[in-house]
């Protein structure tokens, strides 16, 4: 985790309310960054994700929490936008082998660009994202070469970039396994029971336990040897 310098004290952090972005939020905060969190209402099936983002943003005392309406429903082409069934009960090896139907086309690219607009308007040159190239190897816009290309584009897209400011996209979890992220989150004191991962929340507000995201999360907690407090809340 990079520490802020006097010239870059502030950072934008993309915050979905999931385990990864919440970990990045807590980590950046503890490293000394003053944070502007940006969350998106993009047509998710359930408000649980945004509730988790609000909870984490308040807990970690962000300077500003932007909750932006960016409607991705017209984009289509993803189970997360309600145009196909969320697959359930897939094996780990199946998940890594191809881009899943839950892939939202260019979502990271779009959210990063929105984060860039927020950053540009506030003269902030650092953007944190919970992108991970290990567990989500199937997602093209989670990979390091994409993030490098995005930084180059960002410099040319902005006034600050044109004037010589180096813009950084920081993805501190990029090469960490889910188990390492769980351990890091616990070390940071993250309230893991209020992070949200599931692609298909149940009517009673609990995670389905069977979608790819739930299974990756469960596997990460198991490998880290830590019980998932979100599941312990389930019966309450």
| CB nearer its own copies, residue 68 or residue 222 | 68
One of 9, 31, 159, 233 touching its own copies (CB under 8 A)? 159
Kindly indicate which of the ranges 88-96, 101-109, 181-189, 207-215 contains the residues binding its own copies, using the contact rule CB under 8 A. Answer: 101-109
Q: How far apart are CA 145 and CA 84, in angstroms?
A: 29
Query: In the beta sheet, which residues pair with residue 36?
Result: 12, 64
Kindly state whether residue 66 participates in binding its own copies, applying the rule CB under 8 A: yes
Are 84 and 100 a contacting pair, CB within 8 Å? Answer: no
Q: Which two tokens stand for residue 162?
A: 């044109």
Which positions ≥6 away from 8 have C-beta within 8 Å?
124, 125, 126
| CB nearer its own copies, residue 86 or residue 116 | 116
Kindly state whether residue 236 participates in binding its own copies, applying the rule CB under 8 A: no
CA dihedral angle for residue 89, residue 199, residue 36, residue 73, rounded to 10 degrees: 140
Kindly state whether residue 74 participates in binding its own copies, applying the rule CB under 8 A: yes
Kindly state whether residue 96 participates in binding its own copies, applying the rule CB under 8 A: no
Kindly state whether residue 103 participates in binding its own copies, applying the rule CB under 8 A: yes
Are 150 and 170 a contacting pair, CB within 8 Å? Answer: no
Are 170 and 127 a contacting pair, CB within 8 Å? Answer: yes
Are 185 and 22 a contacting pair, CB within 8 Å? Answer: yes
One of 76, 82, 89, 193 touching its own copies (CB under 8 A)? 76
Q: How far apart are CA 88 and CA 74, in angstroms?
A: 25
Kindly state the smallest distance separating residue 41's Cβ from its own copies, in Å: 9
| CB nearer its own copies, residue 40 or residue 60 | 40
Q: Which two tokens stand for residue 155?
A: 């410099």
Kindly state whether residue 137 participates in binding its own copies, applying the rule CB under 8 A: no
Number of residues that bind its own copies (CB under 8 A): 46
Kindly indicate which of the ranges 14-22, 53-61, 119-127, 186-194 contains the residues binding its own copies, using the contact rule CB under 8 A. Answer: 119-127
List interacting residues with its own copies (CB under 8 A).
66-72, 74-78, 99, 103-110, 113-114, 116-118, 120-122, 140-141, 143, 145-146, 149-150, 152-159, 161-162
């Amino acid at each position: 985790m990079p520490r802020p310098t006097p010239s870059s004290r502030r950072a934008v952090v993309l915050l979905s309310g999931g385990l990864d972005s919440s970990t990045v939020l807590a980590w950046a905060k503890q490293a000394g960054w003053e944070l502007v969190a940006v969350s998106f209402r993009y047509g998710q099936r359930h408000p649980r994700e945004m509730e988790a983002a609000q909870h984490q943003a308040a807990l970690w005392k962000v300077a500003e929490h932007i909750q932006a309406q960016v409607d991705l429903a017209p984009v289509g082409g993803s189970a997360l936008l309600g145009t196909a069934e969320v697959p359930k009960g897939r094996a780990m090896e199946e998940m890594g082998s191809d881009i899943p139907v839950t892939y939202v086309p260019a979502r990271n690219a779009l959210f990063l660009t929105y984060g860039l607009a927020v950053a540009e308007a506030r003269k902030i040159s650092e953007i944190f994202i919970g992108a991970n190239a290990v567990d989500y190897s199937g997602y093209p816009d989670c990979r390091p070469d994409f993030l490098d290309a995005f930084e180059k584009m960002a410099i040319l897209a902005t006034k600050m970039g044109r004037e010589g400011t180096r813009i950084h996209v920081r993805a501190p979890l990029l090469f960490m396994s889910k188990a390492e992220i769980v351990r890091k989150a616990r070390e940071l004191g993250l309230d893991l029971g209020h992070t949200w991962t599931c692609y298909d929340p149940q009517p009673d507000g609990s995670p389905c336990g069977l979608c790819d995201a739930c299974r990756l999360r469960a596997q990460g907690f198991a490998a880290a040897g830590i019980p998932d407090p979100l599941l312990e809340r389930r019966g309450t």
